Amino acid sequence: MAMLMVSLTQIWINKDPGRKFFEKVSGVEVFLQTHLSIGYTPVDEPPLAIKRDPAIANGDPVLTFYMRKSSPFMEYDKEPHRPIECALHCDDREGLILYWRCPWSDKEVLQKYQKFTLAEAHQLDFYNYDIPLDAWKKADLKANDTTEVPEVLEILFKKDKMEKTVHICLKPRVAITREKKPKEDKQSPQPNKKKRAPKRKERK
């Protein structure tokens, strides 16, 4: 078993840096897409919300969601699986930060926010669709002081010369269809119009 672990570690070390970067980004995308789309909430409130907590992110608005149980990087000893409250934020120095805590835990340390960081994430933005403009518009949560969850989350990942942008849908949108008038068939005869009989030529 030890030899197998050493071999796997060596394979990971020898991996192409570009491949490691894109695999890591894909893993983060799958993780967020999965948990943000589940819509799970252990309390009487929306599964996704924009909140402001002075204890994290300097009181800036953060996207919050819940997990049914902890993930591998959140494991703690002898603690039963209980719902996890999470908050997503992007910091200029630390990158993408996933704050998490277990308010229902018996341990006081787990009732306070812990955090998991990802330095490769450089920017986190939210977007809403502007129907009159027929275009996507960036949502400024700080300026509008809103608590409404935007429609799309965008995260920009960078490392060296590599770059990838991830989009995650937070709200299902109803497709807008414009009614099209049926085209008239010019070749088909029009109703309620009688055909005129051909004129007879007069004999001289």
pLDDT at 4: 45
Phi-psi region of 58 (alpha: psi -120 to 50; beta: other; left: phi over 0): left
Average pLDDT over residues 49-72: 87
- 47-61: b or e for each residue (b if 16 or more CB lie within 10 Å)? bbbbeeeeebbeeeb
Q: Flag the least confident range among 1-15, 71-85, 112-126.
A: 1-15
Cα–Cα distances (Å) from 117 to 8, 90, 92, 122, 187, in that order, read: 24, 9, 12, 12, 68
- Which of 118, 110, 108 is closest to 69 using CA atoms? 110
Q: Please tell me the distance from the alpha carbon of residue 88 to that of residue 116, in angstroms, as a whole number.
A: 10
Give the whole-angstrom CA distance, residue 104 versus residue 82: 7
Give the separation between CA 194 and CA 184, rounded to whole angstroms.
19
End-to-end alpha carbon distance in the chain:
116
Res. 6 pLDDT band, cuts 50 70 90: very low
Q: Which residue would you say has higher pLDDT here, 9 or 166?
A: 166
For the segment 186-198, the average pLDDT, to the nearest whole number, is 55
Give the span between the Cα atoms of 110 and 158, in whole angstroms: 31
- CA distances (Å), 131 to each of 61, 96, 148, 153, in order? 25, 30, 17, 18
Query: What does the block give as tokens for 52?
Result: 């402001």
Cβ neighbours of 128 (radius 10 Å): 16
The pLDDT > 90 percentage for the chain reads 38
Residues in the chain: 204
Ranges 5-9, 66-70, 137-141: which has the least confidence: 5-9
pLDDT for the residue numbered 1: 45
- The more confidently predicted of residues 150 and 176 is 150
Average pLDDT score over residue span 98-109 = 85
What's the maximum distance between 2 C-alpha atoms anywhere in the chain? Answer: 117
* pLDDT of amino acid 46: 86
Name the residue ranges covered by the structural domains of the chain.
13-169
163 pLDDT above the threshold of 60? yes
- Amino acid making up residue 127: Y
- Rounded-to-integer distance, Cα 115 and Cα 34, Å: 19
Can you say how many angstroms the Cα of residue 17 is from the centroid of all Cα atoms in its chain?
A: 26
* 120-129 average pLDDT score: 93
**Taking the complete model, does pTM exceed 0.85, yes or no?**
no
- pLDDT attached to residue 171: 83
| Residue 182 confidence (pLDDT) above 90 | no
The DSSP secondary-structure symbol of 10 reads H
In this prediction, residue 175 has a pLDDT band, given cuts at 50, 70 and 90, of very low
Q: State yes or no: pLDDT of 156 exceeds 90.
A: yes
